[in-house]
Amino acid sequence: MSTIAPTITLQEIEEAADRIRPHVHSTPLLSNKTLNRLSGGSLFLKCENFQKGGAFKARGATNAVLQLSEEQKQNGVVTHSSGNHAQALALVAQSQNIPAYIVMPQGAVAAKKRAVAGYGATIIECEPNLLARQEMAKKVKQETNATFIHPYDNKQIIAGQGTVALEMLTQNPALKTIVVPIGGGGLVCGVAIAAKATCPDIRIIGVEPAGAADAFESLQSGTFVPSTDPQTVADGLRASTGELTWPLIQKYVDQIITVTDEKIMDSLRLVWERTKLLIEPSSATVVAALESPDFPKECLEEPIGLILSGGNVDLENLVWNSKK
């Protein structure tokens, strides 16, 4: 892929922050003694699990929806997603009183379907594969004239997600590292652009599950490696980085660390037990990364921000490691 990195500016992210402020939560940045003791670092947990809809996704979705024209708003929005973007878009559409059409794969987690339906969106089922999802979304778009809102390969979405970093650096200007999970890359790109424009020396560390390490492999090889068959317990991170996000990752992310599903679930459990924050496996990756031999130990000497990206857990199918 030879896309030129698109320009998303600090100004666009600051404008997004002003735009979405009345509609989303400013989430707390918490510390926890036990996690500090175990990691040897000074950690600050950005609790996007407390965000509306249970994940950071409400930021980007709100930023995109609020920029629709009146005519576009009448026709509503469409996306395909089995997860947090679906919930966020449905929630924002409801609050703006516009129609939302969400293409969800058959077999999607019941709790997520319940939440999407609870926000008043129309759910359209399709075969559980990416092609079928894309085709169905296209069909819905043609039939309804709804605007397609991509979960991450969309400048307004990326700018919205970048507001997480602006908030963190206001809450603690001393942060020298931010650790971010990478799925499609919308969050890490927005955060990296916002953080580096504000604090040029800040280090951005992305984290991927070992079974969905397309960005890691792309960064290692210097060329875009799309995700083909992601296998990980972190359901929010099964997406492939895209045409917009990959060049931005290459440009702005300092390092990507991979973590195994076992370490993700160990960390999830640690966070649940010791912080009482209900986070989803995607969020636990950033805690697991601290234990990786690849994690730069010098980062532990100064304040580190960890983005707990969401808390939408499938409570019906929790799997703990049996070794405990």
By C-beta, is 61 or 68 nearer to its own copies?
61
Q: Does 120 bind its own copies (CB under 8 A)?
A: no
Told to check if 281 binds its own copies by CB under 8 A, we report no
Q: Which C-beta is closer to its own copies: that of 8 or that of 265?
A: 265
Q: Which is nearer to its own copies, 24 or 136 (CB)?
A: 24
| 86 counts as binding its own copies under rule CB under 8 A | no
C-beta of residue 133 within 8 angstroms of C-beta of residue 80:
yes
Give yes or no: 282 in active site.
Answer: no
Tell me which stretch binds its own copies (CB under 8 A): 49-57, 96-104, 196-204, 213-221: 49-57
The answer to whether residue 276 is catalytic is: no
Q: Does 111 bind its own copies (CB under 8 A)?
A: yes
How would DSSP label each residue in 185-201?
A: SHHHHHHHHHHHHH-TT
- Rounded Cα distance between 286 and 52, Å, is 21
Which C-beta is closer to its own copies: that of 153 or that of 280?
A: 280
Question: 309, 56 in Cβ contact below 8 A?
Answer: yes
181 binds its own copies (CB under 8 A): no
Contacts of 117 (CB under 8 A, 6+ apart): 123
Catalytic residue among 46, 52, 82, 240: 82
User: CA-CA distance, 182 to 239, in Å (whole number)?
Assistant: 9
Measured at the CA of 299, the angle between CA 169 and CA 26, to 5 degrees, comes to: 25
C-beta separation of 244 from 161 below 8 A: no
Q: Binding to its own copies by residue 272, rule CB under 8 A?
A: yes
Regarding 77 and contact with its own copies (CB under 8 A), the answer is no
- Is residue 319 a contact residue for its own copies (CB under 8 A)? no
Q: Is 316 in the site for its own copies (CB under 8 A)?
A: yes
What b/e readout covers 258-277, taking b as 16+ CB neighbours within 10 angstroms? bbebebbbbbbebbeeebeb
**What region does 76 belong to: left with phi over 0, alpha with psi -120 to 50, or beta?**
left
| Interface positions with its own copies (CB under 8 A) | 28, 47, 49-50, 54, 111, 269, 272-273, 276-279, 311, 313, 315-316, 318, 320, 324
